[in-house]
A and B are shown apart, each in its own frame.
Chain A
Amino acid sequence: MNAVYFHLGQWWFLVRKDLQREYRSRAAWPSMALLGLLMLMAIEMQLDLPAALSRQVAGGMLWLAIFFGGAVPIERSFSSEQADGCWDALRMYPVEGATLYLAKFAFNFISLAILSCVLLPMYVVLTDAPLLKQWPATSLLAMLTCASLAAAGTLVGAIANSLRSRGNLVVLLLLPLALPVLLGASDATASLLRGDTGDMFGRWLQLLAAFSLINLTAGVLLFDFVLER
Chain B
Amino acid sequence: MEFLTIAFGVVGGSLALYVGWLGVHQRHLARQLHELESQLDATTETNHSHSQQTRRAA
A and B touch in the complex (CB under 8 A): no
